[in-house]
Amino acid sequence: MKFGRFFLRNVAQVSAAPLYGVLEGNEVREITGRPWESWSAGSRKWSVQDVRFIAPVEPSKIVCVGRNYAAHAAELGNEVPKEPLIFLKPPSSIVGPDEPVVLTPLSQRVEHEGELALVIGRQCAHLKYDADVLSYVAGYTCLNDVTARDIQKSDVQFTRGKGFDTFCPIGPHIETQLKPEDVLVELHVNGALRQTGHTSLMVYPVTFLVRWISRMMTLVPGDVIATGTPAGVGPLVAGDVAEVSVEGVGVLRNPVHAAQS
């Protein structure tokens, strides 16, 4: 089941609050409540051409996992971490499908990182080894962990290089039925394949990550965990179009715009 968050394209509705809906073929039906809460289907539905999908979540935090594919760690000259390497992106970095990634004048090397992301559905903390970890996950989506690589390298820690506005495209919707153990994650730039890898190649799988992260911070409904990127990261320049695809989820498309003066 796919859930989206959207505005109606009708000009009269521009100032209205965004709606949540469930996709039914080429239509989207409004739901009451959010996908990770108790919800019910409404009577109103629209063609997908009549809505503008936006980021499907407004998380309190975005927890990212670095170097979770051995080949990606190697391409940057790093070893695989002995424990998950985590960092945070601010919610202010989020943009939705078809919204632009805006380059920053502070960086000369901005790169793409296509990833599978999961959305937390139930509050969890200090999960035990025998916990049904996936029962705490509402669903899965695509994420592009856009990174100012030169800043990341000079700062050592990741906050500034990962945290610029628009550096966290996410969407286009949340898929609830995915089995995350072995799905294909790819990223194309201007139609050319840059990254490809199966989640089975993760050093730390989804279930391990949720359990491990829950021991350090309480995860609340709507929070996002980005699970790491396959090898093949590379530069983005103004005029590019980046597309993250996750098998069984969909495609997240974002144009790249020049830095604002």
> Residue 183 belongs to a domain with what CATH number?
3.90.850.10
The confidence band for 13, taking pLDDT boundaries of 50, 70 and 90, is low
The residue-averaged pLDDT of 99-106 equals: 98
| Spatial contact of 255 and 101, defined as CB atoms under 8 Å apart | yes
Residues 106 and 8 reside in one and the same domain: no
Query: pLDDT of 138-188, one tens digit each?
Result: 999 999 999 999 999 999 899 999 999 999 999 999 999 999 999 999 999
**Does 129 share its domain with 150?**
yes
Yes or no: say if 57 and 224 are a contact pair by the CB < 8 Å rule: yes
Mean pLDDT for the chain overall: 96
Chain segment 21-49, per-residue pLDDT in tens: 999 999 999 999 999 999 999 999 999 99
Q: Are residues 131 and 179 in the same domain?
A: yes
Q: What percent of the chain has pLDDT over 70?
A: 98
Whole-angstrom distance, CA of residue 34 vs CA of residue 56: 10
| Residue 246: pLDDT over 60 | yes
Q: How many domains does the chain have?
A: 2
User: For residue 42, what is the domain's CATH number?
Assistant: 2.30.30.370
**34 lies in the same domain as 75:** no
Q: What pLDDT is recorded for position 12?
A: 58
Rounded Cα distance between 254 and 108, Å, is: 20
For 184-225, the DSSP string reads EEEEEETTEEEEEEEGGGBSS-HHHHHHHHHTTS-B-TT-EE
- 9 and 28 inside one domain: yes
**Same domain for 159 and 216?**
yes
pLDDT at position 78 over 80: yes
192 shares a domain with 89: yes
Q: Are residues 43 and 91 in the same domain?
A: no
What is the pLDDT averaged over residues 98-110?
A: 98
Q: Examine the domain organization and report whether 21 and 132 are in the same domain.
A: no
The model carries a pTM of 0.96
Lowest mean pLDDT among 11-20, 45-54, 124-133: 11-20
Burial 184-203, CB ≥16 within 10 A → b, else e: ebbbbbeeeebbebebebbb
Do 116 and 190 lie in one domain? The reply is yes
Confidence of residue 10 (pLDDT cuts 50, 70, 90): confident
Q: Which of 10, 25, 54 is the last residue in one of the domains?
A: 54
Measure the CA dihedral 134/136/142/143, to 10°: -120
The reported pLDDT for the residue numbered 16 is: 75
139 and 12 assigned to the same domain: no
Question: Each residue of 208-227: pLDDT tens digit?
Answer: 999 999 999 999 999 999 99
Q: Domain boundary at 13, 38, 54, which?
A: 54
Domain span holding position 48 = 2-54
Q: What is the mean pLDDT of residues 85-108?
A: 98
* 162 and 140 in a common domain: yes
